A and B are shown apart, each in its own frame.
Chain A
Amino acid sequence: MPVEIPKDKWTGKVREVSFGATAADGGTRSKSIVVGGDTTLPYMQFEAPTPHTPVIAVEIKSRRPEDWSTLLEETWGDAMNDPASWAKAAEAAGADALVLWLTLADTPEDAVKATKAVLAASALPLMVFGPGQVEKDNELLVAVSEAAKGEKLVLGICEDKNYRTIVATAMANGHLVSARTPMDVNLAKQLNILITDMGLPANRIIMDPTTGALGYGIEYGYSVMERLRLASLQGDGMTQFPMMVTVGFEAWKAKESKVGTGVPEAWGDWKARAIHWETLTTTALLESGASIVVLRHPESMKRIRAAINELMAA
């Protein structure tokens, strides 16, 4: 019985956004990364090819984090001591891009120093994120933005509370912003409107709709991303931005990943569970529309890389 495969006909398209400037564009990166451009729901390749392979970015910190799981400390070892060696290790582990996450302890000088060190150590396209406290983010990111002028960084976290400062510095120095909103379609759209109202070209916005990890609200992030992708395909211009999610950050916050003792026996082997936690969360979010996933563990990166290859192969 011949079955007519129902194909969706969408009018909208996610914007193509590129970050990381090569020498030709006035930067020092070995390549630019392009994300977005989708004209269908994720991996519906019988309708149209998925234009760009999703990006695996790795999270590194400006100074050795004290609250990371020992599983992560074991795997990254001394590379965690300084951002430059961490960047190299991440590149060696197969990262497509790097996310340098600054901390509350950093001064603007520290932030600039760390950024420059990472830019020198690895030629991968770079995103730089503030610690997530509005005033501190403004202070650090403006300094980083100026110091790395022309590198086409992605600056985060750009929220409703500080978007004016971050967007202004991104505009002045040729960077992109990662627009973060707390798991809500409307809020995501509103922030995009506010940012574009300031005059930042739309192809310099990546949205981070945030997510919870598996067991910690993943379903909200999952549905918000599905809805944002649907809205963008339906032609809603203020949702047509590629999405990134900081999965590693969320998944490794979960007790399931973070600790190996004092947990129920039914949770099974710690290390395998922790990797599953990051991997399963990532899988679900890739399939709901993430173009960039920011991970923490090299083993998860490997498994996600293989999964992405299978998804792209269809």
Chain B
Amino acid sequence: MALTGIEIFKLLPGGQRPPHPKANCKECGIPTCMAFAMKLAAKQVELAACPYVSEESKTKLAESSAPPIRLITLKGPGSSIKAGNEVCLFRHEKTFYNKPGLFVRVKASQANIAAEVAKADAYKVNYVGMDFTVDGFAVEADTLSGTSDPTKFADAVKAVRSATKRPLILVAKDAKVLEAGAAALPGETPLLYGADSANWEAMGDLAKKLNAPLAVCADNLDTLADLTDKLKGKGLEDFVIDPSSTKLGASIAKYTQIRRLALKNFRALGFPVISFACNAADEGIAAAQAIAKYAGFVVLDKFVPELLYGLLVLRENIYTDPQKPIQVTPGIYEINNPKPESPVLITTNFSITYFAVANEVEGSGLPAWLLVCDAEGMSVLTAWAAGKFDSERIAKAIKGFNVASKVSRKRVVLPGHVAVLSGELEAELPDWEIRVGPREAVDLPGYMKTALNN
């Protein structure tokens, strides 16, 4: 289990009794040992930064800081993708770190492989300023269990590789087939899928030879743990596990059990999980569940942009750090269909502030333009106090978002808390009428009805 800040502190010079001569030496760049301990607990610093920690403490800290879920990296010639290193069951406890890779499946027997892959590979979609793409491809042999032709599989892999530089997952149950495919990917780290109770030895040998992560598959946790354990005996360390369920109810239970066990440092299952949502009755719903509930890799049946977009957005949302203050994108927002003569209200981009203002105005039914300024996600007073919400920034927003082009009456309403800025803003915006509104959002409707009505 991870140690708390205060437990770590007791292992550092500052926490020793009698005091260590180098207690609170600041040489790590942090003012006190306590502060260092807390940053260490939050994994924001490395223990190596402390020059005076004892060997004994080092060992204890190393034990407690080993990640419960092993970090697995797949590498293609153009990009790589990571899974694992997660530390919690619920995103609000900390955050989810490594977004599950979304892979599109290609069957070896399929026609026009290169063209299909190229289409998916070129896919790029923008969501609030970020570009999202597919993370890689899964190449599946013709028959999963039977003896597929290694040459055909290798050809398919080559075709895929000719159309994309992203990491690949090679899917076959015959080690020879997989080996042929992997041979087409020199210098890469593909995921080998996969080992089961029948083929694990051959698969294990191959993974060892290729030094690539190996997926293990079984429909129950006992077998999965058994397989990773046996394969570890072969000197392997990097696994991805597939609990092989296609039904939502069974999946959510198993994926949760695996995450819980891993977090309790049950090492045999401390690996990322792969979900073949492509085999579920409703691929979209299965993939959505896998993204929210603990998958490290998600394989989709084909490239369907309208679904992929939704899943990429869901993944981004679920993996957003919940500890970060929530921000609204700065810009000019329309409330109740404003007209050119409607007032321009100003606020900051702290979501709570924004919602308070927007809700009050929306509820009043009065039309208005709401100008959200970039105040680094702080509320009006905090931002003002910290110098992030001043007349310069407001003027910049008014000019930058070209507010003048939307209104016939150049009139802006400042939050009452920053009435002090009115004079400077007047100087910045000489042709604008600067009004000071109420301090609290709840008083906005009343203010708009009376004070602004002239």
Complex: A in contact with B (CB within 8 Å): yes
Report A's interface with B, CB cutoff 8 A: 1-3, 5-6, 41-46, 104, 132-134, 182, 214-215, 217-220, 222-223, 226-227, 230, 256, 264, 266-270, 272-273, 276-277, 279-280, 283-284, 287-288, 303, 306-307, 310-314
A277: chain B residues at CB < 8 Å are: 310
> How close is B22's CB to chain A, nearest CB, in angstroms?
42
A313-B247, A314-B253 known; A280+B285 contact, CB < 8 A: yes
Measured between beta carbons, the chain A residues less than 8 angstroms from B124 are: 266
Known: A3-B261, A266-B123. 6 other contacts (CB 8 A): A5-B221, A256-B309, A273-B306, A276-B284, A280-B314, A307-B248
Q: Do A43 and B91 have beta carbons less than 8 Å apart?
A: no
Give the interface centre of B124, B257, B306 by most chain A CB atoms within 10 Å: B306
Taking CB as reference atom, which chain A residue is nearest B250? A314
Q: Nearest B residue to A272 by beta-carbon distance?
A: B306
Q: From DSSP, what is the main secondary structure of chain A's interface residues? A: helix
Question: How far is B352's CA from A182's CA once the two chains are assembled, in angstroms?
Answer: 10
Question: A307, B247: Cβ atoms under 8 Å?
Answer: no
Q: What is the bound-complex CA distance between A41 and B221, given in angstroms?
A: 20
What's the nearest-Cβ distance from chain A to residue B42, in Å?
A: 19
- Do most interface residues of chain B lie in helix, strand or loop, or is the interface mixed? helix
The 23 sampled A-B contact pairs (Cβ below 8 Å) are A3-B221, A3-B266, A6-B257, A6-B260, A45-B249, A218-B314, A219-B91, A219-B322, A223-B92, A223-B322, A226-B91, A266-B123, A267-B125, A268-B305, A268-B306, A269-B305, A272-B307, A276-B306, A283-B285, A283-B288, A303-B285, A306-B281, A313-B249
Asked whether B309 lies within 8 Å of A268 as measured between CB atoms, the reply is yes
Segment with Cβ contacts to A, from B6-14, B106-114, B202-210, B222-230: B222-230
User: CA A175 – CA B352 in complex, angstroms?
Assistant: 32
Measured CB to CB, the closest approach of chain B to A209, in angstroms, equals: 13
Question: Across the interface, do B91 and A223 meet the contact criterion of CB distance under 8 Å?
Answer: yes
Q: Are A223 and B90 in contact (CB under 8 A)?
A: yes
Assembled-state Cα–Cα distance A276/B311 (Å): 9
Encode contact with A along B294-323: 1 for CB under 8 Å, 0 otherwise. Answer: 000000000011111111011001101010
Q: Is A280 within 8 A of B250, CB to CB?
A: no
CB of B221 within 8 A of CB of A311, answer no
Whether B247 lies near A182 (C-beta < 8 A) is no
- CA A313 – CA B252 in complex, angstroms? 12
| B250, A266: Cβ atoms closer than 8 Å | no
A223 to B248, CA, bound (A): 20
* B residues near A1, Cβ cutoff 8 Å: 222, 225-226, 229, 268
